Amino acid sequence: MLQAKPLRSSSTGALAGTIRVPGDKSISHRSLMLGAVAVGETVIHGLLEGEDVLNTAAAMRLLGAQAERGGDGVWRVRGVGLGGLGEPAQVLDMGNSGTAARLLMGLVASHPITCVFTGDASLNKRPMARVTGPLEQMGARFVGRSGGRLPLTVVGSDRTVPITYRLPVASAQVKSAIILCGLNTAGTTTVIEAEPTRDHTELMLRHFGATVTTERMEDGALAVSVVGQPELTGRAIVVPADPSSAAFPAVAALLRPGSELLLPGVGMNPRRTGLYDTLVEMGADIAFENRRDEAGEPVADLRVKHGPLKGIVVPADRAPSMIDEYPILAAAAACAEGTTVMLGLKELRVKESDRLAMVADGLTKCGVKVEVGADDSLTVYGTGKPPQGGATVATAMDHRIAMSFLVLGMATAEPVQVDDGAFIDTSFPGFVALMNGVGAKIAGV
């Protein structure tokens, strides 16, 4: 258990400089997992070295793969081949990462091994039943606490069967878990999603040599299919900067007069850019420079300048492309002119914390008028100027809540304190030092 680390953020002058945001967490997890079941060596440049991803690397080693960081900062994974994962001698501790836990459950479910998954206090509260349900249909067995919560035992099978599964709720994690189980299952496994979710798993599987197709159905839904039991070959991967992490310095620059920040090499996968689309609609001055592709993923350099923001309505169908960014969007909305309405936020209830409730409570303490709708909407009433601040905000061990309110504190009249910033390193190692390096004033309490 990490010791609590209270942090205080105070109003700053202009923020200026270049921030190299750590590598994309979603892509980092997947590169380690797929490299572990590929034949040969996978070379990964720019892997996020936060606690969540390091836990995934440790889990892959326990399952039989080699995954090591070289002195040059490059990670090399020597895979065991598809179907070659071995039974771990220890519990797989996934720390704070729901993505890692759910995806890895899918990957091991098609192997005749037994694995015990656990996590920190936050992860062990999160429901896993929506992943274990379809994986049970494929032939795996699970023994866990109520709601399928961790600690949880996965009893895998080498006789899993392909299924066609329609997602009841848009979730890239559930989709990916099923696809990864289908990867080592004879036949074709299909996941149908009514709304497009992150497609990093599909893109990376194609990069490793798998056959993955996406087809539009008559009702407008997408059918994502994987042909089981291909031979995956180790590949070179360049991990883009994480767009979810880049959101924090980007919004900070938008809120502080005179600010200009350059964020190089940020992933611009269109299923991850909902926040940036929303900020531009709010009037944000964001330029997307030097657009390019790296290992199948679109990338750009972001130049962000301060400017006024206006309130808008954020449609529910945008949620899958920005589900992790609503807390920082709420901080931006608190400083915007007019009302911002965010629709379709039910998924925020089951993240690292109940993010919807946590954001509303924190903003209220900072002097912002907010409303949480019965339809899981969030309405933020901005006045066109930063709120008062002067509050201590509870984070419930949620790194994104902590970073969002530290960014808000850079603009508020009085400092904003978070009760625990220790968990920030799970996704954005070095966040405080990087932000202070461009002019922020974040300090321990």
Annotated catalytic residues are 324
CB < 8 Å & 24+ apart, contacts of 67-74: 67/32, 67/35, 67/36, 74/43, 74/44, 74/45
Terminal C-alpha separation, the chain: 20
HSE-CB for 377 with a 13 A CA cutoff: 16
Kindly report the backbone phi and psi dihedral angles of residue 132, in degrees, each rounded to the nearest multiple of 5, phi listed first.
-65, -30
The rounded distance, in Å, linking the Cα atoms of 234 and 207 is: 9
Taking a C-beta distance cutoff of 8 angstroms, is the pair 350, 383 a contact?
no
Residue 126 assigned as binding residue: yes
HSE-CB for 162 with a 13 A CA cutoff: 18
The rounded distance, in Å, linking the Cα atoms of 160 and 141 is: 11
b (16+ CB within 10 A) / e for 208-240? bebebeeeeeeeebbebbbbbebebebbebbbb
What type of residue is 403? M
- Which stretch of DSSP H or E encloses residue 43? strand 41-45
Residue 400 assigned as binding residue: yes
Residue 310 assigned as binding residue: no
Residue 25 assigned as binding residue: yes
The rounded distance, in Å, linking the Cα atoms of 186 and 367 is: 57
Residue 8 assigned as binding residue: no
Residue 388 assigned as binding residue: no
Residue 346 assigned as binding residue: no
Residue 159 assigned as binding residue: no
Q: CB within 8 A of 266, min separation 6: which ones?
A: 21, 240, 241, 242, 243, 246, 299, 300, 301, 302
Residues annotated within a binding site: 25-26, 30, 98, 126, 171, 173, 324, 351, 355, 400
Give the residue ranges of the annotated binding site for phosphoenolpyruvate: 25, 98, 126, 173, 355, 400
Q: Which residues are annotated as a binding site for 3-phosphoshikimate?
A: 25-26, 30, 171, 173, 324, 351
